[in-house]
Structure 1
Amino acid sequence: MTQEEYATFESIEVSKEEILSCSYSSWYPILKNYTAKSRVIKPLPQTFLDYLGSDSIKLPPANNYDPELVINSDNEYSDWEDGEEADESHDNDDQNDQEDEEDTDANVKSITVEDFKDLHDQIIQGINDLGGAVTPKLNWSAPKDAKWIMPDNTIRCDHVNDIYLLLNTSDHIVDDLDYPFTGVDLEKGIDDDDEVKEKVEYELVLRKWLDVNPALEFRVFIKDNKIIGISQRDLNHYTYLESLKSEINDKIQSFVYETLIPELKDKLNLNKYIVDVYLPRPFNKAYIIDINPFSRKSSPLLFTWHELLLIDTFGDDEDNYELRLVNETNVGRFSKKEYSESQVPYDVVDASLNSQAMVELAREWDKLQMQQDQ
């Protein structure tokens, strides 16, 4: 290989059609027998999207998770009415602070759950219909980078507030909302802002919670309707995986070539994408975790994008790829905790540089805890 070839940066062409075809509601009806039972709610009201994108959000009172609606004095239902008295008391305590805020943000209306009441009710109903515990996502991304904020360090949501908190905290969700077409070659004369503002029918996906073994999740890279690489999804070393490598490879290959590729090629005209699959024991069926566009927005995990793009997909050979696992020789490369760059709030970073700010942060945290207890 010449020096010029080493210096070449391999480009990836991805179209808007491919990205939209990887939206959950596009492929779920085709492959729902191979993934978790889901509820897709769309289109989402703009008020809800603005709520998710705001710097801070106001959650409904914790005691209003119960889906049974309360009848008020006007014989109208409300599922957050119980918390209004507590909110009123809190408002009186902080009246001076609010007046200051109103002076600076007089023209800014804070978005609350009341602004998307119908959607709020649909989410509660969806959680109940799916067994009481779900994992949320938008069209393409799940808020895995925000799981640090949950007590059990997962994206399992038992209550509607869990969903709001995860989605608002996640950088992955922000990326879905603000940069849905990253990597698309824009037409000449059209700038990035116009492209981002192109209408996308956003959807909220609630998936039935399944307690999966992360050791048995794998990422499959598919290009020109051929597997070009399979990587272990969880970057921890599991000693027993090496003895199962051949069996895992055979099961994934069979599922991809016999089911996945024919369905997506025929129904969605997709010939390149990335699919995360779960292969639980006794390895008799593969399940789809997610399907993503074939672009650098997705991590290549144990590969590099450069080496993936150099794999020859011409010819009839379906075995021209490698299944890579984390082993004793490469485990040191992945000592960094996954999504760690998203796990420290900016408030904490700022406060760590200022002792007085740290005291104020602790006070605010105590106030929030007391409010939640009420």
Structure 2
Amino acid sequence: MTTRSAETDVIVPKPSRTDTTTALWATQYGAWYPIHKRYTPKSIVIDLESVEPRFVEWLDEDGVVLANANDSRRARTLPQNDEAEVMSEPSDDEDDGAFFPALNAEIERALQAYGAVFPKLNWSAPQDAAWIMPGHTLRCQTPNDVYLLIKSSDFAMKDVVQLRELTQACEADSRYQRPRLQLVLKKWFDMPRSHEFRCFVRHAHVVAACQREISFYEHLQNPATQERIQSMLMDFYNENLAHTTPPDIVFDVYLTKNLDSCFLIDLNPWLDRTDTLLWTGEELEQAYAQPTRIPLRVLTSPAQASQALPTYSAHMVPADVIELSQGEHIAEFAQKWSSQLQEAAKP
């Protein structure tokens, strides 16, 4: 397949993408963090197969039963059907969840070292479950904070499925060892979303970038600021990633407020299922053929942000809440929802 360059009017051969096995293997956090830890937030990577082999089985179980971590603030069962009690405390004769003493100890050590942590699995953080936490962040201060986020997240389960796919692929590919499920605990620090950017690399060339948070930010409208950001993103890739990552990747970075430092937040495979945010897949493929300065896309007006749904909004309420609210005014919905809660709480 070829692409025509708009500037040179010549046919530019389009290289094939990095194969899926290589892309997934190389973008596991535990695979790239040791290489790039110098400019990545401090992290602890826990091999779940070694520390807690039952963890995947627990993730696969229905419902949200928190692991017993001796944490009275979080040790409760969250129902997922109409027959369960709503936010009920488990009685003495109820199953109070799996018990992971070794994993609890590992998480506690991380909390002692970092104060608070940001959890994720091999590829994904449970961003879709942040709504369930105080402040709607992934800031975890107890083991059960970690368990609650991971257990409630569709993104985490997709990582488990993706790991199984990679395991099957590696069995037929002698280049790679069998992958293992990992729990990553990153040191928490307040990171303004307005300074996070996603960069797209095609055949070892940064072809585009955009803001990660779908919101309007006044400071990103300044042309000089945009030029500085473009230069920082390009320099960071060329100096740190160009020779140590696959030729086709998507990487996320955080730029400090004064735009003098860059931190690597994540590496993602360039696959069809990877979120292109403010770009389309077709635009990114076309950008590869145009030898121009890295294009940076940001929202240019509050109206653009108002037209977009909040990030991960589809995951912020249970499906039964959505079904219950169809066609209702807010007062009617509130009354009906209250009645449903009271009914569900009856013995």
Instruction: Determine the structure 1 residue equivalent to 2:215.
Output: 236
Instruction: Determine the structure 2 residue equivalent to 1:257.
Output: 238
Alignment check: 8 A CA contact 1:238 1:326 kept: yes
Identity within the alignment, %: 30
Residues in 1 aligned to 2:302 and 2:281: alpha-carbon distance in whole angstroms: 21
Structure 1 residues 113 and 184 mapped into 2: Cα distance closer, same or farther (>3 Å)? closer
CA deviation map 1:263-298 (0-9, x unaligned)? x14xxxx11111000001221211011111011222
Instruction: Determine the structure 1 residue equivalent to 2:81.
Output: none
Instruction: Determine the structure 2 residue equivalent to 1:47.
Output: 54
Alignment check: 8 A CA contact 2:196 2:213 kept: yes
Alignment check: 8 A CA contact 2:299 2:305 kept: no
Alignment check: 8 A CA contact 1:136 1:204 kept: yes
CA deviation map 1:49-95 (0-9, x unaligned)? 12223222333353489xxxxxxxxxxxxxxxxxxxx95xx246xxx
Instruction: Determine the structure 2 residue equivalent to 1:101.
Output: none
Residues in 2 aligned to 1:345 and 1:254: alpha-carbon distance in whole angstroms: 43
Greater share of residues in strand? 2
Residues in 2 aligned to 1:64 and 1:235: alpha-carbon distance in whole angstroms: 33
The residue type paired with residue 281 of structure 1 is K
Residues in 2 aligned to 1:169 and 1:347: alpha-carbon distance in whole angstroms: 16
1:62 aligns with one of 38, 53, 71 = 71
Secondary structure in 1 aligned to 2:273? Answer: coil
1:274 aligns with one of 250, 259, 278 = 250
The residue type paired with residue 235 of structure 1 is I
Secondary structure in 2 aligned to 1:310? Answer: helix
Q: Does 1:220 align with 2:199?
A: yes
Q: CA deviation at 1:321?
A: 3.3
Secondary structure in 2 aligned to 1:141? Answer: coil
Query: Equivalent residues in 2 for 1:96-115 (5 A)?
Result: 112-114=97-99
Structure 2 unaligned spans of 5+: 1-14, 75-88, 327-332
Alignment check: 8 A CA contact 1:219 1:277 kept: yes
Q: Does 1:305 align with 2:285?
A: no
The residue type paired with residue 316 of structure 2 is Q
The TM-score, its normalising length taken from structure 2, stands at 0.76
Instruction: Determine the structure 1 residue equivalent to 2:227.
Output: 246
Alignment check: 8 A CA contact 1:15 1:184 kept: no
CA deviation map 1:172-209 (0-9, x unaligned)? 1011011347799989xx9xxxxxxx953000000000
Alignment check: 8 A CA contact 1:229 1:308 kept: yes
Residues in 1 aligned to 2:168 and 2:16: alpha-carbon distance in whole angstroms: 11
Q: Does 1:293 align with 2:274?
A: no
The residue type paired with residue 143 of structure 1 is P
Instruction: Determine the structure 2 residue equivalent to 1:106.
Output: none
Q: CA deviation at 1:111?
A: 8.5
Alignment check: 8 A CA contact 1:14 1:184 kept: no
CA deviation map 1:115-152 (0-9, x unaligned)? x321121111211112x200000000000111010110
* Matched length: 301
Structure of larger gyration radius: 1
Residues in 2 aligned to 1:320 and 1:181: alpha-carbon distance in whole angstroms: 39
Residues in 2 aligned to 1:330 and 1:14: alpha-carbon distance in whole angstroms: 39
Structure 1 unaligned spans of 5+: 1-9, 66-85, 93-97, 99-109, 191-197, 368-374
Secondary structure in 1 aligned to 2:287? Answer: coil
Residues in 1 aligned to 2:96 and 2:181: alpha-carbon distance in whole angstroms: 18
Structure 1 residues 255 and 330 mapped into 2: Cα distance closer, same or farther (>3 Å)? farther
The residue type paired with residue 126 of structure 1 is A
Structure 1 residues 144 and 127 mapped into 2: Cα distance closer, same or farther (>3 Å)? same
Greater share of residues in helix? 1
2:109 aligns with one of 109, 121, 125 = 125
CA RMSD between the two structures:
3.4
Q: Does 1:208 align with 2:191?
A: no
Q: CA deviation at 1:249?
A: 1.0
